[in-house]
Amino acid sequence: MKKTSYHLTVRGYELDSFGHVNNAVYLQYAETALWNFYHVSGILGVLEEEGLFPVIMESSQRYMHELHLLDEVRIDTEVTCTGGIVSYKHKIINETTGLVSCKVTGKLVYVNKERIICDIPEALRICIEGGNNDSK
């Protein structure tokens, strides 16, 4: 299992009419953190070499505490491989209050250019299951 952290600040255009982050934005935060994981883990290069593309098969979120304008946020991401499926977990943490605002979990597979689900290549599995990494 590999873990990364991604940091951001809540922006005004992400708020709903009640002044807190819109529910759909949490999924954007999670997706951004997942792409950050791909970047810092060296996965983007392997995907390009192998001609593979990630496809999210399942995603769920549990909202726990609100985020507001200019809150500092840390998204902790854990990714694991089981068979041909990659599972990910995000904790979206309000660093201003110290509370977990949302938990996002999901599963994805990799497809080729013909949109056929493929086994996870060993080089990709090594990137996913490598050591710990932190980034901003």
Task: Report the run of H or E that residue 125 belongs to, with start and end.
Answer: helix 122-129
Proportion of the chain above pLDDT 90, given as a percent: 91
> pLDDT by residue (tens digit) across 82-132?
989 999 999 999 999 999 999 999 999 999 999 999 999 999 999 998 844
Give the pLDDT band of residue 69 (cuts 50, 70, 90).
very high
Res. 43: pLDDT tops 50: yes
What's the pLDDT at 1? 76
What's the pLDDT at 134? 46
Torsion of CA 3, 133, 51, 80, to 10 degrees: -20
CB 133 within 8 A of CB 79: no
What's the pLDDT at 42? 94
**The domain 2-129: what is its CATH number?**
3.10.129.10
